[in-house]
Structure 1
Protein backbone atom coordinates (compact mmCIF):
# COMPACT_ATOMS: atom_id res chain seq x y z
CA UNK A 1 0.00 0.00 0.00
CA UNK A 2 2.84 2.36 0.90
CA UNK A 3 4.69 1.48 -2.29
CA UNK A 4 1.65 2.30 -4.38
CA UNK A 5 1.36 5.72 -2.68
CA UNK A 6 4.93 6.63 -3.47
CA UNK A 7 4.52 5.63 -7.08
CA UNK A 8 1.32 7.62 -7.32
CA UNK A 9 2.96 10.77 -5.94
CA UNK A 10 5.92 10.87 -8.39
CA UNK A 11 3.96 12.04 -11.42
CA UNK A 12 2.36 14.80 -9.33
CA UNK A 13 5.77 16.06 -8.10
CA UNK A 14 7.20 15.94 -11.59
CA UNK A 15 4.25 17.83 -12.96
CA UNK A 16 4.58 20.58 -10.34
CA UNK A 17 8.34 20.90 -10.96
CA UNK A 18 7.86 21.14 -14.71
CA UNK A 19 5.19 23.80 -14.30
CA UNK A 20 7.48 25.87 -12.07
CA UNK A 21 10.38 25.44 -14.47
CA UNK A 22 8.31 26.78 -17.36
CA UNK A 23 7.27 29.85 -15.35
CA UNK A 24 8.92 33.05 -16.60
CA UNK A 25 8.75 36.47 -15.03
CA UNK A 26 10.74 39.66 -14.80
CA UNK A 27 13.27 39.66 -11.99
CA UNK A 28 13.63 43.21 -10.61
CA UNK A 29 16.60 44.28 -8.50
CA UNK A 30 19.04 47.06 -7.70
CA UNK A 31 22.84 46.71 -7.57
CA UNK A 32 24.63 48.48 -4.70
CA UNK A 33 28.18 48.96 -3.46
CA UNK A 34 28.56 46.59 -0.50
CA UNK A 35 30.59 49.17 1.47
CA UNK A 36 28.88 52.48 0.75
CA UNK A 37 25.46 51.24 -0.37
CA UNK A 38 25.76 53.60 -3.33
CA UNK A 39 24.09 52.45 -6.58
CA UNK A 40 26.31 50.78 -9.17
CA UNK A 41 25.50 52.25 -12.57
CA UNK A 42 25.93 50.49 -15.92
CA UNK A 43 26.62 47.05 -14.43
CA UNK A 44 26.24 44.11 -16.82
CA UNK A 45 23.67 41.45 -15.91
CA UNK A 46 23.81 38.27 -17.99
CA UNK A 47 21.33 35.39 -17.79
CA UNK A 48 23.72 32.60 -18.70
CA UNK A 49 20.87 30.09 -18.84
CA UNK A 50 18.87 32.01 -21.45
CA UNK A 51 21.78 33.92 -23.01
CA UNK A 52 20.11 37.27 -22.52
CA UNK A 53 21.54 40.38 -20.88
CA UNK A 54 20.76 43.88 -19.68
CA UNK A 55 22.47 46.87 -18.01
CA UNK A 56 21.64 48.65 -14.77
CA UNK A 57 20.59 52.30 -15.00
CA UNK A 58 22.26 55.26 -13.27
CA UNK A 59 20.47 54.38 -10.01
CA UNK A 60 21.51 50.72 -10.17
CA UNK A 61 18.05 49.35 -11.11
CA UNK A 62 17.48 46.65 -13.74
CA UNK A 63 14.97 43.98 -14.72
CA UNK A 64 15.45 40.82 -16.77
CA UNK A 65 13.21 37.89 -17.74
CA UNK A 66 14.08 34.70 -15.83
CA UNK A 67 12.78 31.28 -14.82
CA UNK A 68 13.42 29.27 -11.65
CA UNK A 69 16.91 27.77 -11.82
CA UNK A 70 18.35 30.44 -14.11
CA UNK A 71 21.85 31.70 -13.30
CA UNK A 72 22.66 35.42 -13.39
CA UNK A 73 26.19 36.78 -13.70
CA UNK A 74 26.81 40.39 -12.60
CA UNK A 75 29.90 42.41 -13.51
CA UNK A 76 30.87 46.07 -13.16
CA UNK A 77 34.12 47.99 -13.49
CA UNK A 78 35.74 48.36 -10.08
CA UNK A 79 33.78 45.50 -8.50
CA UNK A 80 34.25 41.77 -8.07
CA UNK A 81 31.94 39.69 -10.26
CA UNK A 82 28.85 38.24 -8.61
CA UNK A 83 26.53 35.30 -9.31
CA UNK A 84 22.88 34.76 -8.41
CA UNK A 85 20.71 31.67 -8.73
CA UNK A 86 17.03 32.43 -9.34
CA UNK A 87 14.72 30.42 -7.09
CA UNK A 88 10.94 30.20 -7.29
CA UNK A 89 10.47 32.15 -4.04
CA UNK A 90 12.62 35.01 -5.36
CA UNK A 91 10.81 35.08 -8.67
CA UNK A 92 7.38 34.99 -7.03
CA UNK A 93 8.21 37.93 -4.73
CA UNK A 94 7.05 41.36 -5.85
CA UNK A 95 9.85 43.12 -3.94
CA UNK A 96 12.80 44.84 -5.61
CA UNK A 97 15.83 42.98 -4.32
CA UNK A 98 19.15 44.61 -3.39
CA UNK A 99 22.25 42.91 -4.78
CA UNK A 100 25.60 43.87 -3.22
CA UNK A 101 28.84 43.88 -5.20
CA UNK A 102 32.19 44.05 -3.44
CA UNK A 103 34.49 46.88 -4.67
CA UNK A 104 38.04 45.91 -5.63
CA UNK A 105 41.27 47.84 -6.20
CA UNK A 106 43.24 47.18 -9.38
CA UNK A 107 47.04 47.00 -9.04
CA UNK A 108 48.91 48.37 -12.05
CA UNK A 109 52.60 48.96 -12.64
CA UNK A 110 54.02 52.46 -12.52
CA UNK A 111 53.87 54.34 -15.81
CA UNK A 112 56.78 56.56 -16.78
CA UNK A 113 55.83 59.45 -19.05
CA UNK A 114 58.54 61.20 -21.05
CA UNK A 115 57.10 64.24 -22.86
CA UNK A 116 60.24 64.57 -25.00
CA UNK A 117 60.10 60.99 -26.35
CA UNK A 118 63.26 59.31 -27.60
CA UNK A 119 66.42 61.19 -28.57
CA UNK A 120 65.62 60.82 -32.27
CA UNK A 121 62.12 62.23 -31.73
CA UNK A 122 63.51 65.14 -29.69
CA UNK A 123 66.15 65.94 -32.32
CA UNK A 124 63.57 65.87 -35.12
CA UNK A 125 61.24 68.17 -33.19
CA UNK A 126 64.11 70.53 -32.40
CA UNK A 127 65.30 70.74 -36.00
CA UNK A 128 61.77 71.24 -37.37
CA UNK A 129 60.70 73.64 -34.62
CA UNK A 130 58.39 76.30 -36.03
CA UNK A 131 59.60 79.59 -34.54
CA UNK A 132 57.57 82.82 -34.69
CA UNK A 133 58.60 85.46 -37.19
CA UNK A 134 61.11 87.99 -35.90
CA UNK A 135 59.96 91.59 -35.54
CA UNK A 136 63.19 92.69 -37.22
CA UNK A 137 63.31 92.95 -41.00
CA UNK A 138 66.44 91.36 -42.47
CA UNK A 139 67.67 91.48 -46.03
CA UNK A 140 67.54 88.05 -47.82
CA UNK A 141 71.30 88.11 -48.45
CA UNK A 142 71.86 88.35 -44.71
CA UNK A 143 69.62 85.33 -44.07
CA UNK A 144 71.79 83.24 -46.38
CA UNK A 145 74.89 84.12 -44.37
CA UNK A 146 73.08 83.39 -41.11
CA UNK A 147 72.18 79.92 -42.41
CA UNK A 148 75.90 79.41 -43.00
CA UNK A 149 76.56 80.33 -39.37
CA UNK A 150 78.05 83.77 -40.09
CA UNK A 151 77.57 86.60 -37.61
CA UNK A 152 76.76 89.74 -39.58
CA UNK A 153 75.19 93.16 -39.26
CA UNK A 154 75.12 93.98 -42.98
CA UNK A 155 72.05 95.55 -44.54
CA UNK A 156 69.81 95.48 -41.47
CA UNK A 157 66.65 97.57 -41.46
CA UNK A 158 66.52 98.73 -37.85
CA UNK A 159 63.09 99.63 -36.43
CA UNK A 160 62.85 103.10 -34.88
CA UNK A 161 64.04 103.38 -31.27
CA UNK A 162 65.54 99.86 -31.37
CA UNK A 163 69.06 99.58 -29.86
CA UNK A 164 71.68 98.34 -32.31
CA UNK A 165 73.29 96.27 -29.59
CA UNK A 166 70.06 94.30 -29.12
CA UNK A 167 69.99 93.50 -32.84
CA UNK A 168 73.59 92.38 -32.76
CA UNK A 169 72.96 90.09 -29.80
CA UNK A 170 69.94 88.59 -31.56
CA UNK A 171 71.82 87.80 -34.75
CA UNK A 172 74.93 86.68 -32.92
CA UNK A 173 73.00 84.15 -30.80
CA UNK A 174 71.08 82.90 -33.82
CA UNK A 175 74.27 82.40 -35.81
CA UNK A 176 76.00 80.60 -32.94
CA UNK A 177 73.00 78.34 -32.37
CA UNK A 178 72.95 77.33 -36.03
CA UNK A 179 76.68 76.62 -36.00
CA UNK A 180 76.36 74.49 -32.86
CA UNK A 181 73.47 72.55 -34.35
CA UNK A 182 75.36 71.97 -37.60
CA UNK A 183 78.43 70.71 -35.71
CA UNK A 184 76.25 68.45 -33.59
CA UNK A 185 74.60 66.90 -36.66
CA UNK A 186 77.96 66.48 -38.41
CA UNK A 187 79.49 64.79 -35.35
CA UNK A 188 76.48 62.49 -35.04
CA UNK A 189 76.72 61.47 -38.71
CA UNK A 190 80.47 60.86 -38.34
CA UNK A 191 80.02 58.66 -35.26
CA UNK A 192 77.43 56.57 -37.10
CA UNK A 193 79.93 55.98 -39.93
CA UNK A 194 82.67 54.64 -37.64
CA UNK A 195 80.51 53.07 -34.92
CA UNK A 196 81.18 49.52 -36.16
CA UNK A 197 84.96 49.88 -35.71
CA UNK A 198 85.53 52.67 -33.17
CA UNK A 199 83.20 53.38 -30.25
CA UNK A 200 83.39 53.47 -26.43
CA UNK A 201 82.20 49.84 -26.27
CA UNK A 202 84.88 48.68 -28.72
CA UNK A 203 87.66 50.64 -26.98
CA UNK A 204 86.54 49.31 -23.59
CA UNK A 205 86.63 45.73 -24.94
CA UNK A 206 90.18 46.22 -26.28
CA UNK A 207 91.70 48.10 -23.33
CA UNK A 208 89.58 47.04 -20.38
CA UNK A 209 88.98 50.68 -19.43
CA UNK A 210 85.58 51.73 -18.13
CA UNK A 211 83.90 54.85 -16.80
CA UNK A 212 86.02 57.99 -16.51
CA UNK A 213 89.26 56.18 -17.44
CA UNK A 214 87.70 55.07 -20.74
CA UNK A 215 86.64 58.54 -21.85
CA UNK A 216 89.88 60.10 -20.63
CA UNK A 217 91.80 57.56 -22.72
CA UNK A 218 89.66 58.19 -25.82
CA UNK A 219 90.29 61.91 -25.43
CA UNK A 220 94.01 61.13 -25.12
CA UNK A 221 93.92 59.14 -28.38
CA UNK A 222 92.50 62.04 -30.44
CA UNK A 223 92.58 60.06 -33.69
CA UNK A 224 92.07 62.08 -36.86
CA UNK A 225 88.71 61.73 -38.56
CA UNK A 226 90.32 60.76 -41.86
CA UNK A 227 92.22 57.94 -40.16
CA UNK A 228 89.09 56.57 -38.47
CA UNK A 229 87.15 56.72 -41.74
CA UNK A 230 89.81 55.08 -43.93
CA UNK A 231 91.48 52.63 -41.51
CA UNK A 232 90.36 49.04 -41.06
CA UNK A 233 89.23 47.59 -37.75
CA UNK A 234 92.61 45.83 -37.41
CA UNK A 235 94.56 49.05 -38.02
CA UNK A 236 92.46 50.96 -35.50
CA UNK A 237 92.94 48.18 -32.92
CA UNK A 238 96.73 48.37 -33.33
CA UNK A 239 96.61 52.15 -32.98
CA UNK A 240 94.51 51.85 -29.80
CA UNK A 241 96.97 49.38 -28.24
CA UNK A 242 99.86 51.68 -29.12
CA UNK A 243 98.11 54.64 -27.53
CA UNK A 244 97.38 52.52 -24.46
CA UNK A 245 101.09 51.93 -23.90
CA UNK A 246 101.73 55.68 -24.10
CA UNK A 247 98.76 56.40 -21.84
CA UNK A 248 99.88 53.98 -19.13
CA UNK A 249 103.45 55.30 -19.32
CA UNK A 250 102.28 58.69 -18.04
CA UNK A 251 103.62 58.96 -14.45
CA UNK A 252 100.32 59.79 -12.75
CA UNK A 253 98.70 56.78 -14.47
Structure 2
Protein backbone atom coordinates (compact mmCIF):
# COMPACT_ATOMS: atom_id res chain seq x y z
CA UNK A 1 0.00 0.00 0.00
CA UNK A 2 2.78 2.37 0.88
CA UNK A 3 4.41 1.62 -2.47
CA UNK A 4 1.21 2.44 -4.38
CA UNK A 5 0.78 5.62 -2.36
CA UNK A 6 4.37 6.61 -3.20
CA UNK A 7 3.75 5.96 -6.92
CA UNK A 8 0.62 8.14 -6.83
CA UNK A 9 2.55 11.01 -5.26
CA UNK A 10 5.26 10.79 -7.94
CA UNK A 11 2.64 10.76 -10.68
CA UNK A 12 0.93 13.83 -9.18
CA UNK A 13 4.23 15.73 -8.94
CA UNK A 14 5.13 14.81 -12.52
CA UNK A 15 1.81 15.95 -14.00
CA UNK A 16 1.90 19.19 -11.98
CA UNK A 17 5.42 19.96 -13.18
CA UNK A 18 4.44 19.26 -16.78
CA UNK A 19 1.41 21.55 -16.53
CA UNK A 20 3.50 24.35 -15.03
CA UNK A 21 6.06 23.90 -17.77
CA UNK A 22 3.34 24.30 -20.39
CA UNK A 23 1.86 27.35 -18.69
CA UNK A 24 5.02 29.18 -17.70
CA UNK A 25 7.40 27.80 -20.30
CA UNK A 26 6.82 30.59 -22.81
CA UNK A 27 10.39 31.82 -22.29
CA UNK A 28 11.37 29.72 -25.31
CA UNK A 29 9.10 31.82 -27.54
CA UNK A 30 10.85 34.13 -30.00
CA UNK A 31 9.22 37.38 -31.12
CA UNK A 32 9.86 37.50 -34.86
CA UNK A 33 9.13 40.69 -36.77
CA UNK A 34 10.21 41.96 -40.16
CA UNK A 35 9.32 43.19 -43.60
CA UNK A 36 8.47 41.13 -46.70
CA UNK A 37 9.73 42.44 -50.05
CA UNK A 38 9.63 41.51 -53.73
CA UNK A 39 12.91 40.00 -54.98
CA UNK A 40 12.78 42.02 -58.24
CA UNK A 41 11.73 45.48 -57.12
CA UNK A 42 12.51 45.24 -53.35
CA UNK A 43 9.10 46.79 -52.70
CA UNK A 44 6.97 45.66 -49.71
CA UNK A 45 4.42 42.88 -50.31
CA UNK A 46 1.11 43.40 -48.46
CA UNK A 47 -1.26 40.72 -47.15
CA UNK A 48 1.19 37.81 -47.20
CA UNK A 49 -0.06 34.72 -45.35
CA UNK A 50 2.34 33.69 -42.55
CA UNK A 51 1.53 30.25 -41.11
CA UNK A 52 3.22 28.30 -38.31
CA UNK A 53 3.44 24.71 -39.60
CA UNK A 54 3.29 23.29 -36.07
CA UNK A 55 0.11 25.07 -34.94
CA UNK A 56 -1.38 25.74 -38.38
CA UNK A 57 -2.08 29.29 -37.15
CA UNK A 58 -0.47 32.57 -38.09
CA UNK A 59 -0.95 36.12 -39.27
CA UNK A 60 -0.68 38.31 -42.38
CA UNK A 61 1.56 41.21 -43.33
CA UNK A 62 0.07 44.71 -43.34
CA UNK A 63 -0.18 47.13 -46.27
CA UNK A 64 3.51 48.05 -45.91
CA UNK A 65 4.74 44.45 -45.75
CA UNK A 66 5.43 44.44 -41.99
CA UNK A 67 4.60 41.45 -39.82
CA UNK A 68 5.07 40.12 -36.27
CA UNK A 69 4.62 36.62 -34.88
CA UNK A 70 5.75 34.68 -31.78
CA UNK A 71 7.09 31.15 -32.41
CA UNK A 72 9.29 28.50 -30.84
CA UNK A 73 12.89 28.22 -32.01
CA UNK A 74 12.09 24.81 -33.48
CA UNK A 75 9.07 26.05 -35.47
CA UNK A 76 8.97 26.59 -39.21
CA UNK A 77 6.81 29.37 -40.65
CA UNK A 78 5.62 29.46 -44.24
CA UNK A 79 5.19 32.69 -46.24
CA UNK A 80 2.74 32.49 -49.15
CA UNK A 81 1.06 34.99 -51.42
CA UNK A 82 -0.61 34.95 -54.82
CA UNK A 83 1.91 35.39 -57.68
CA UNK A 84 4.86 34.55 -55.37
CA UNK A 85 6.65 31.31 -54.60
CA UNK A 86 6.10 29.88 -51.12
CA UNK A 87 9.01 30.53 -48.75
CA UNK A 88 9.64 28.41 -45.63
CA UNK A 89 11.61 30.02 -42.81
CA UNK A 90 13.11 28.71 -39.58
CA UNK A 91 15.25 30.24 -36.86
CA UNK A 92 18.86 29.43 -36.10
CA UNK A 93 20.03 28.21 -32.70
CA UNK A 94 21.69 31.56 -31.98
CA UNK A 95 18.57 33.66 -32.61
CA UNK A 96 17.78 36.13 -29.80
CA UNK A 97 14.44 36.36 -28.00
CA UNK A 98 13.42 39.24 -30.28
CA UNK A 99 14.65 39.64 -33.85
CA UNK A 100 13.93 41.46 -37.12
CA UNK A 101 14.28 39.92 -40.60
CA UNK A 102 13.88 40.98 -44.21
CA UNK A 103 12.00 38.21 -46.06
CA UNK A 104 12.58 38.21 -49.83
CA UNK A 105 9.97 36.39 -51.95
CA UNK A 106 10.47 35.36 -55.59
CA UNK A 107 7.84 36.00 -58.23
CA UNK A 108 5.93 33.03 -59.59
CA UNK A 109 4.86 32.79 -63.23
CA UNK A 110 1.57 31.12 -64.10
CA UNK A 111 0.99 29.46 -67.46
CA UNK A 112 -2.63 29.98 -68.48
CA UNK A 113 -4.53 28.20 -71.19
CA UNK A 114 -5.84 30.11 -74.18
CA UNK A 115 -8.99 32.10 -73.39
CA UNK A 116 -11.43 32.98 -76.17
CA UNK A 117 -13.27 36.28 -75.71
CA UNK A 118 -16.48 36.94 -77.63
CA UNK A 119 -18.40 40.21 -77.83
CA UNK A 120 -22.15 40.06 -77.19
CA UNK A 121 -24.15 42.63 -79.09
CA UNK A 122 -26.96 43.09 -76.57
CA UNK A 123 -27.38 42.94 -72.79
CA UNK A 124 -30.36 40.63 -73.17
CA UNK A 125 -28.18 38.18 -75.10
CA UNK A 126 -25.65 38.12 -72.24
CA UNK A 127 -28.45 37.59 -69.72
CA UNK A 128 -29.89 34.68 -71.66
CA UNK A 129 -26.51 32.99 -72.25
CA UNK A 130 -25.47 33.44 -68.63
CA UNK A 131 -28.69 32.09 -67.12
CA UNK A 132 -28.76 29.12 -69.49
CA UNK A 133 -25.08 28.23 -69.17
CA UNK A 134 -24.36 24.50 -68.99
CA UNK A 135 -22.70 23.86 -65.63
CA UNK A 136 -20.91 20.60 -64.77
CA UNK A 137 -23.20 18.21 -62.92
CA UNK A 138 -21.24 18.46 -59.64
CA UNK A 139 -21.71 22.26 -59.62
CA UNK A 140 -25.43 22.24 -60.37
CA UNK A 141 -27.80 22.75 -57.44
CA UNK A 142 -31.28 21.56 -58.24
CA UNK A 143 -34.00 24.14 -57.73
CA UNK A 144 -31.55 27.04 -57.26
CA UNK A 145 -32.27 30.15 -59.31
CA UNK A 146 -29.51 32.40 -60.64
CA UNK A 147 -29.62 36.09 -59.74
CA UNK A 148 -27.65 38.41 -62.04
CA UNK A 149 -27.01 41.74 -60.21
CA UNK A 150 -27.45 44.83 -62.33
CA UNK A 151 -29.36 43.06 -65.11
CA UNK A 152 -32.86 44.53 -65.57
CA UNK A 153 -36.05 42.61 -66.28
CA UNK A 154 -35.03 39.60 -64.23
CA UNK A 155 -37.46 38.05 -61.77
CA UNK A 156 -35.02 35.82 -59.87
CA UNK A 157 -34.91 35.81 -56.05
CA UNK A 158 -33.31 38.73 -54.26
CA UNK A 159 -32.05 38.88 -50.70
CA UNK A 160 -33.14 42.21 -49.15
CA UNK A 161 -31.10 41.54 -46.01
CA UNK A 162 -27.78 41.05 -47.81
CA UNK A 163 -25.13 43.40 -46.51
CA UNK A 164 -22.78 45.05 -49.02
CA UNK A 165 -19.21 43.79 -49.09
CA UNK A 166 -16.63 46.35 -48.14
CA UNK A 167 -19.12 48.86 -46.73
CA UNK A 168 -17.81 52.02 -44.98
CA UNK A 169 -18.97 50.68 -41.59
CA UNK A 170 -16.96 47.46 -41.93
CA UNK A 171 -13.93 49.41 -43.19
CA UNK A 172 -13.83 51.80 -40.21
CA UNK A 173 -14.53 48.98 -37.75
CA UNK A 174 -11.64 46.95 -39.14
CA UNK A 175 -9.30 49.95 -39.14
CA UNK A 176 -10.00 51.18 -35.62
CA UNK A 177 -10.26 47.72 -34.07
CA UNK A 178 -6.76 46.96 -35.36
CA UNK A 179 -5.55 50.19 -33.83
CA UNK A 180 -7.10 49.26 -30.46
CA UNK A 181 -5.52 45.81 -30.61
CA UNK A 182 -2.14 47.38 -31.30
CA UNK A 183 -2.47 49.71 -28.28
CA UNK A 184 -3.47 46.83 -25.98
CA UNK A 185 -0.54 44.78 -27.24
CA UNK A 186 1.88 47.61 -26.53
CA UNK A 187 0.53 48.03 -22.98
CA UNK A 188 1.02 44.32 -22.35
CA UNK A 189 4.64 44.55 -23.52
CA UNK A 190 5.26 47.50 -21.24
CA UNK A 191 4.20 45.44 -18.23
CA UNK A 192 6.26 42.38 -19.14
CA UNK A 193 9.53 43.82 -20.35
CA UNK A 194 11.87 46.55 -19.25
CA UNK A 195 11.86 49.92 -21.03
CA UNK A 196 15.30 49.45 -22.56
CA UNK A 197 14.42 46.01 -23.90
CA UNK A 198 11.25 47.30 -25.54
CA UNK A 199 13.03 50.22 -27.19
CA UNK A 200 15.86 48.03 -28.49
CA UNK A 201 13.45 45.44 -29.86
CA UNK A 202 11.58 48.08 -31.89
CA UNK A 203 14.42 50.36 -32.96
CA UNK A 204 18.10 49.50 -33.42
CA UNK A 205 20.84 49.70 -36.04
CA UNK A 206 20.00 46.30 -37.57
CA UNK A 207 16.36 47.25 -38.13
CA UNK A 208 17.36 50.60 -39.68
CA UNK A 209 19.86 48.81 -41.94
CA UNK A 210 17.24 46.29 -43.09
CA UNK A 211 14.79 49.07 -43.92
CA UNK A 212 17.21 51.53 -45.57
CA UNK A 213 20.33 49.60 -46.60
CA UNK A 214 22.54 52.26 -45.00
CA UNK A 215 25.89 51.23 -43.48
CA UNK A 216 28.76 52.64 -41.45
CA UNK A 217 28.97 56.39 -40.91
CA UNK A 218 25.98 57.01 -43.15
CA UNK A 219 23.86 54.75 -40.93
CA UNK A 220 25.00 56.58 -37.78
CA UNK A 221 24.33 59.94 -39.44
CA UNK A 222 20.81 58.82 -40.44
CA UNK A 223 19.99 57.63 -36.90
CA UNK A 224 21.04 61.06 -35.59
CA UNK A 225 18.90 62.63 -38.31
CA UNK A 226 15.84 60.62 -37.15
CA UNK A 227 16.35 61.81 -33.54
CA UNK A 228 13.63 59.58 -32.02
CA UNK A 229 13.25 60.07 -28.26
CA UNK A 230 12.33 57.30 -25.83
CA UNK A 231 8.81 58.63 -25.30
CA UNK A 232 8.07 58.36 -29.05
CA UNK A 233 9.54 54.84 -29.29
CA UNK A 234 7.57 53.62 -26.28
CA UNK A 235 4.29 55.22 -27.30
CA UNK A 236 4.20 54.04 -30.93
CA UNK A 237 4.00 50.55 -32.40
CA UNK A 238 6.64 48.92 -34.60
CA UNK A 239 4.47 49.63 -37.63
CA UNK A 240 4.34 53.38 -36.89
CA UNK A 241 8.10 53.50 -36.21
CA UNK A 242 9.06 51.59 -39.35
CA UNK A 243 6.79 53.75 -41.49
CA UNK A 244 8.37 56.87 -39.97
CA UNK A 245 11.87 55.50 -40.69
CA UNK A 246 10.99 55.03 -44.37
CA UNK A 247 9.62 58.57 -44.57
CA UNK A 248 12.69 59.96 -42.82
CA UNK A 249 14.95 58.03 -45.20
CA UNK A 250 13.30 59.69 -48.21
CA UNK A 251 13.87 63.11 -46.64
CA UNK A 252 17.43 62.14 -45.76
CA UNK A 253 18.22 61.12 -49.35
CA UNK A 254 16.60 64.22 -50.86
CA UNK A 255 18.53 66.45 -48.46
CA UNK A 256 21.84 64.85 -49.45
CA UNK A 257 21.11 65.23 -53.18
CA UNK A 258 20.31 68.96 -52.95
CA UNK A 259 22.96 71.10 -54.73
CA UNK A 260 25.21 73.00 -52.39
CA UNK A 261 24.99 76.82 -52.42
CA UNK A 262 28.00 78.56 -53.91
TM-score (norm 1): 0.36
Which is bigger in relative contact order (C-alpha 8 A, separation at least 6)? 2
TM-score (norm 2): 0.35
Question: In terms of Rg, which structure is larger?
Answer: 1
